[in-house]
Structure 1
Amino acid sequence: MIYRLPIEDLRQIFLSLPVPVCLLDRETHYLGANHRYADICNTSLDVLAGKSMQDFCPPELVANARRDFQVLDTGGIIPAHEIIYRNTTFLVSVSPLSHGRDKTVSAIAVTLTDISKLKLEFAAVNENLAVAYKQMQEHAETDALTGLANRHGLRQFFERELRRCTQEQRPISVAIIDVDYFKSYNDHYGHVAGDEGLKAIASAIRSSIRSRDYATRYGGEELVVILPDTDLAGAEHVAETILHAVRSLSIQHKGSPFERITVSIGVVGVKTVPRGLYSADVRDSLLRSADKALYAAKDAGRNCVKVWNDKF
């Protein structure tokens, strides 16, 4: 139902609308505006009346209003859009006012909704979502016990670095680390002590590598370190550093001939990765070769480092 209200009542409703509203003619002169609109223009309704929009607004907003008339004349519509005026972000809605049989657009009603606070809230929500997403990724790629990366994280990092090293023709190396006689350690000292031992070893590994290197818990007591931009000689040096760091923990192990927790390490490295090979194939080949080197270390009596010269 449509009520016929007196003109003065309509005028008062218009003036008291809670959002800024103005009426513009085709020359972008103000036919009317409410108090909220006058406020954002930092003027009064009396001063605003009959003035040109360009007396109060920057040229780009005046150009937008003129372009709106052109779009409406062709039967188009003006989608809601954002503008920034006097350091405030507004959502703009434009409605045509027409008269006559040909429905010529003689004026437009422009409504401005202040969305600055809403955008700040959205930005805060998006930032929180980004932080939450990053945390989810970290949890998805992190071993809960040691804090090192897990197999999923290893795969992502390894393939990314292989692509980069292939493109830049840089070396890359891999070390596989296995805790010596770990089953007997668990049997003798219990799984809680075993978990603590793994955490201590993970810490020793972290302290022995660069921040750009990538240490992972590959499974059980087996750990893998990816060493980008590191040749075989450099990787062997890192492995020896890890070997001594674990020995220096001096964690007693009565079931080991070394009477402490030690590790065996297999190392493989390439000076460059030939272009044209799939990263996943190179990754698997390097891991297999590092595993062969690890078994060579075990065959040599454990508590040592062995290298494997890999070729493609």
Structure 2
Amino acid sequence: MQESKVNINRIHSLYESLVKRHTSLDSTFHTILNEGMKAFNLSLGIISQIDGDSYALLAVSPEGKDLSAGQVFELKNTYCHRVVSEKKIISIEHAGSDPDFNTHPVYIGMKLESYISAPIWIREKVWGTLNFSSTQIKEVSFSKDDHEFISLMADGIGSLIEMNLLSVEKEDVISALSKNNDILESIFENSTIGMALVSPSGQWVKVNNSLTHMLGYTEDYLLSINFQNITHPDDLTLDLQQLDSLAQGNIPFYQLEKRYLTASENYIWILLSVSLVREDNGDVKYYIAQIQSIDERKKMEMELKNQKEALHEANIILERMATEDTLTEIANRRKFMLWFESEMTRLERHPVPISVALADIDFFKSYNDDYGHQEGDFALKSIAKKLSHTLRGQDKIARFGGEEFILLFPETDEKGCLLVCEKLRKSVESLSTLKRTVTISIGGVTYYPKEGVIVHFDDLLKVADSKLYEAKRSGRNQVKVVNLAVYQD
């Protein structure tokens, strides 16, 4: 469960790094590199671009005098040469013990022992690499989850770079639109993401193959409707508000995550980016829409959310199992000890009297013998509930074992302890839901803190148990309370 939680947390962190709006692509790269170094416990992260035999550093974390963004090396002199040539993830925990690595120029020059790298794919070819390394030997082998995680990171970086490339291409296209329509047509039709021209009324004017393939509609059908027809009702209002702000000139463009209805009658999540072209008189000529499917990312986000909720619920159940008595549904001895230690710590700062008491059901064995264990269990639960409801707000109760309960009374002196114990005793005696009248005997002890004196739980328990025995011996259905100092004297 702990490994699952680690994987969930680091995927969640990666998702936040990818969707967060950073001021620049370089800032996003550094955020992702820092997440990766933390996830793999390695000290160096690099995003590179491969151009023929050249290996250019796009982003380095942390940057130093030896390695910084902008530097270019020969690809053959890098560990990433294998990643590019084999087109797959490569990892090594102890390069010095591997003959394929210990004679490599990087190992000789930098002594990088641990290393993991994945190719960055853009437009169906290896565009660059993402890698993390350290001069320290990695004691634990890279796992399948590690390989899957760095693959997710590389895919995310590839998507960001491709979106950036498309954005640059879009701006170039818009600026040259009036002069060279052929360039626009080529990029529009061959774009790997959905693109469309939309009229001011929302009617699809032109759509590319990527969009029709994504949504499953024919081009003719899309051109016969407007975008409102396939937008999820819950997303439409915000989309129209953003479109109005764009038309009014309040914003230069907008991005929006929304849902489109596909031809198979399923909604998919898309990332919509919208800008516009105006007529010479300033009116909107048409909107330019870029539409990228993020359905898999949204599913991953939902799965992460579900896993986190399931983990939270499991932790609550485990906590209850560890601290709650399953029969009476009140605290168990372990939980009581946590309360006690907390109160004793508080007493060091604010010395006030504290009382502890043991309550035991009188003649409970005969009750079980006469009416059976099922009725006995019912009696235990009823008494536990009655005691819990009778206690003051600050008091604590736990099942101590068998038919015995232990009670903690913060800021309660000897007289207060006697009064509350008597109230508890009478409340049980008044129970009318049991087969016969049941009583309890209670033994209590009060401790008055003294500077330099340390009292342990066993000290109080021993005295409370002694007073409980005295109450039993005196005829039961009684309360006996004593000051710890008097008892010790």
Do both share a fold (TM > 0.5)?
yes
Give the structure 1 partner of residue 457 of structure 2: 283
> Is 1:269 aligned to 2:446, yes or no?
yes
SS of the residue 1:307 aligns to = strand
SS of the residue 2:301 aligns to = helix
Deviation by residue 1:85-105 (Cα, 9 ceiling, x = unmatched): 7689xxxxxxxxxxxxxxxxx
> Is 1:23 aligned to 2:165, yes or no?
yes
Deviation by residue 1:15-67 (Cα, 9 ceiling, x = unmatched): xx98862239xxxxx6436646999xx99xxxxxxxxxxx769xxxxxxxxxx
Give the structure 1 partner of residue 355 of structure 2: 173
Unmatched 5+ stretches in structure 2: 1-83, 86-122, 125-157, 171-190, 198-241, 244-251, 259-291
C-alpha distance in structure 1 between counterparts of 2:299 and 2:345, whole Å: 44
Q: Is the Cα contact below 8 Å between 1:165 and 1:228 reproduced in 2?
A: no
SS of the residue 2:475 aligns to = coil
| Aligned with 1:155 (options 293, 315, 337) | 337
Tell me how far 1:246 sits from its aligned partner.
0.7
Tell me how far 1:308 sits from its aligned partner.
1.6
Deviation by residue 1:119-147 (Cα, 9 ceiling, x = unmatched): 35423421331122112111221112111
C-alpha distance in structure 2 between counterparts of 1:37 and 1:300, whole Å: 91
Alignment of 1:231-270 (within 5 A): 231-250=413-432, 251-253=434-436, 260-270=437-447
SS of the residue 1:148 aligns to = coil
> Quick one: which amino acid aligns to residue 362 of structure 2?
D
Tell me how far 1:167 sits from its aligned partner.
2.7
Describe the shift of the 1:168–1:32 C-alpha distance in structure 2 as closer, same or farther (beyond 3 A): farther
| Aligned with 1:183 (options 365, 381, 389) | 365
SS of the residue 1:269 aligns to = strand
Q: Is the Cα contact below 8 Å between 1:178 and 1:263 reproduced in 2?
A: yes
| Aligned with 1:32 (options 145, 169, 174) | 169
SS of the residue 2:424 aligns to = helix
> Quick one: which amino acid aligns to residue 272 of structure 1?
P
Q: Is the Cα contact below 8 Å between 1:21 and 1:36 reproduced in 2?
A: no
Q: Is the Cα contact below 8 Å between 1:150 and 1:217 reproduced in 2?
A: yes
SS of the residue 2:405 aligns to = strand
Decide which moves more: 232-241 or 266-275: 266-275
Deviation by residue 1:239-292 (Cα, 9 ceiling, x = unmatched): 111100111014455xxxxxx311100111224365673xxx622211111111
SS of the residue 2:456 aligns to = helix
Give the structure 2 partner of residue 298 of structure 1: 472
Q: Is the Cα contact below 8 Å between 1:154 and 1:216 reproduced in 2?
A: yes
> Quick one: which amino acid aligns to residue 341 of structure 2?
E
C-alpha distance in structure 2 between counterparts of 1:234 and 1:118, whole Å: 57
SS of the residue 2:328 aligns to = coil
C-alpha distance in structure 2 between counterparts of 1:127 and 1:275, whole Å: 47
Q: Is the Cα contact below 8 Å between 1:141 and 1:153 reproduced in 2?
A: yes
Tell me how far 1:230 sits from its aligned partner.
2.5
> Quick one: which amino acid aligns to residue 249 of structure 1?
L
SS of the residue 2:390 aligns to = coil
Unmatched 5+ stretches in structure 1: 3-9, 12-16, 25-29, 44-54, 58-84, 89-110, 254-259
Give percent identity, aligned residues only: 36
> Is 1:308 aligned to 2:482, yes or no?
yes
Alignment of 1:48-59 (within 5 A): none
> Quick one: which amino acid aligns to residue 264 of structure 1?
S
Give the structure 1 partner of residue 35 of structure 2: none
> Quick one: which amino acid aligns to residue 248 of structure 1?
S
> Quick one: which amino acid aligns to residue 292 of structure 1?
S
C-alpha distance in structure 2 between counterparts of 1:159 and 1:146, whole Å: 23
Aligned CA-pair RMSD: 3.9
Q: Is the Cα contact below 8 Å between 1:206 and 1:215 reproduced in 2?
A: yes
Greater relative contact order, per chain length (Cα 8 Å cut-off, separation 6+): 1
SS of the residue 1:302 aligns to = coil
Give the structure 2 partner of residue 220 of structure 1: 402
Give the structure-2-normalised TM-score: 0.40
> Quick one: which amino acid aligns to residue 367 of structure 2?
Y
Give the structure 1 partner of residue 312 of structure 2: 130
| Aligned with 1:198 (options 380, 383, 390) | 380
> Quick one: which amino acid aligns to residue 23 of structure 1?
L
Tell me how far 1:184 sits from its aligned partner.
2.0
C-alpha distance in structure 2 between counterparts of 1:227 and 1:23, whole Å: 69
Q: Is the Cα contact below 8 Å between 1:216 and 1:223 reproduced in 2?
A: yes
C-alpha distance in structure 1 between counterparts of 2:325 and 2:256, whole Å: 51
Q: Is the Cα contact below 8 Å between 1:173 and 1:228 reproduced in 2?
A: yes
> Quick one: which amino acid aligns to residue 164 of structure 2?
C
Q: Is the Cα contact below 8 Å between 1:266 and 1:293 reproduced in 2?
A: yes
SS of the residue 1:118 aligns to = helix
C-alpha distance in structure 2 between counterparts of 1:198 and 1:123, whole Å: 40
C-alpha distance in structure 1 between counterparts of 2:451 and 2:312, whole Å: 37
